[in-house]
Structure 1
């Protein structure tokens, strides 16, 4: 096993293990032991908690106890896609499994009311259900892909304003924001401009955030199978760095749209300790259905040592 310091702080805990989620959809019987292997590997500092959907808790709990042996309980983040109404029963079910150690809750938005009202309900239910538990909470913002279809349009500006009102709500709470950056349909992928608006709005509020879905590689690319343009997690890291340094949404969008792997890697390698700390305090993690993909990409870019 190689020393943990070979994973630099810029990438520490960056990759939450979303192996159970699309498009990976790994079977629980494979995903749980694979996660334990990741957490015992030299690159373990790269890997965050195991993400568990509210509908898979019992299955994961049983697998964690079966594969745990003398190992410590599995660190898990509970993902409640159904929104506030599903949190209490999900927490109750999680508590039944001693092989699961809850470290976080990610709450999906409900469909009622405005984006800000949905965020407020998410914060309220976390306030009610999490006191006394040493876990983080994240509230996912509801997106309206149709409203962002024309960048610079009146509807796009209205949607950005609605997003900022929701971020005001979350920023007044102890929780972090969550934003969806991809999926199984083209509309699930925000434009560089939309994502830049979110990142700069979080930075101006000193609001931590995480991203989920679609971030399969370090650098922005076009998937030849689907034609979808995917954001790169390294692009988002560096866009966040510039945002917390005061860059505006236009400049941040340019970083998000950059396909230049070598240039992005060079910027990442030159960040100071203080810049790394500020960027990662803002962009806490993202969910990936394959921990090995970011590991391979960062190795190929020279940002991690070769296997």
Structure 2
């Protein structure tokens, strides 16, 4: 990756998820037909495991599959991708046991190990584990430890349809710090349609993906918690391309139901 194209593969096409809720066939067609810079911006096509059987014939991916069940349902989607000849870019699985997230994480790790041993999940396919959208308590950090020890990755939920689904800058900063402290790459989901922090049409303050990239790099370079939070809150951030590119080692991508909005902001800021 070059500093001129820090945004290559930054956005995973999640058009079939809210609030886009695009029809699967329509979304696949748009993904395949995309050209030029918007095509370079996009990495994988994101879909639920329940959508896999309905994928149009001839589509080969790459796909990121969101596992809708628990750890025990992880191998099935991976095997189906293999049977269909789909390039599997990654699996996403959320922890559901909020009383024992570390134990839940261990069950995910065991399921991943079993799927790799059976040959249905390649060793180089990343598995992202979504931790609870809560404070970085002892239990939360213990779950992150399990993910990191198994060399899996984290998934951070940065927004949603409702205000309560948007983590505060301080909470998001603590998640990033936890990931970096464990040298664990992460991808994000929801709410990062725009480059810079802003207030949406619904009156809810939303995070910007360039704020998060910059904050990640600055945190890695030793910035204080207050400085990282201030970066996430900066609505007039002047992006530094070297910082943005350097962050991609850790903040690898984010899912978005819109590709036009991220691309438009990147262009408006003179970064493409």
Same fold? TM cut 0.5: yes
The higher radius of gyration belongs to 1
> 1:140 and 1:53 mapped to 2: Cα distance?
14
Matched, 1:36 2:13: no
CA shift, 1:64, in A, is 4.4
> 2:98 and 2:169 mapped to 1: Cα distance?
27
- TM-score normalised to structure 2 length: 0.91
Q: 1:90 aligns with which of 61, 77, 84?
A: 77
In structure 1, what is the equivalent of residue 210 of structure 2? 234
Moved more, 51-60 or 164-173: 164-173
CA shift, 1:116, in A, is 2.1
The answer to whether the Cα contact below 8 Å between 2:50 and 2:68 also exists between their aligned partners in 1 is no
Structure 1 unaligned regions, length at least 5: 145-155
* 1:142-163 per-position Cα deviation (integer Å, ceiling 9, x unaligned): 224xxxxxxxxxxx5xx43332
* Structure-2 change in CA distance of 1:164 and 1:278 (3 Å): farther
In structure 1, what is the equivalent of residue 103 of structure 2? 117
> 1:277 and 1:300 mapped to 2: Cα distance?
18
> 2:11 and 2:102 mapped to 1: Cα distance?
28
Structure 2 residue matching 1:20: 3-state secondary structure:
coil
The answer to whether the Cα contact below 8 Å between 2:197 and 2:206 also exists between their aligned partners in 1 is yes
Matched, 1:195 2:193: no
CA shift, 1:32, in A, is 0.4
CA shift, 1:84, in A, is 1.0
CA shift, 1:97, in A, is 2.0
Pairs aligned (count): 268
In structure 1, what is the equivalent of residue 268 of structure 2? 300
* 1:225-276 per-position Cα deviation (integer Å, ceiling 9, x unaligned): x22211111110000010110113222111111111xxx2x3323x2xxx55
In structure 1, what is the equivalent of residue 257 of structure 2? 289
> 1:124 and 1:248 mapped to 2: Cα distance?
36
In structure 2, what is the equivalent of residue 255 of structure 1? 231
> 1:298 and 1:116 mapped to 2: Cα distance?
38
* 1:174-197 per-position Cα deviation (integer Å, ceiling 9, x unaligned): 211111111122221111000000
Matched, 1:54 2:40: no
Structure 1 residue matching 2:99: 3-state secondary structure:
coil
The answer to whether the Cα contact below 8 Å between 1:119 and 1:140 also exists between their aligned partners in 2 is no
Higher relative contact order (CA 8 A, sep 6+): 2
> 1:28 and 1:297 mapped to 2: Cα distance?
26
Structure 1 residue matching 2:137: 3-state secondary structure:
helix
Structure 2 residue matching 1:247: 3-state secondary structure:
coil
CA shift, 1:299, in A, is 0.4
**RMSD over aligned Cα, in angstroms?**
2.0
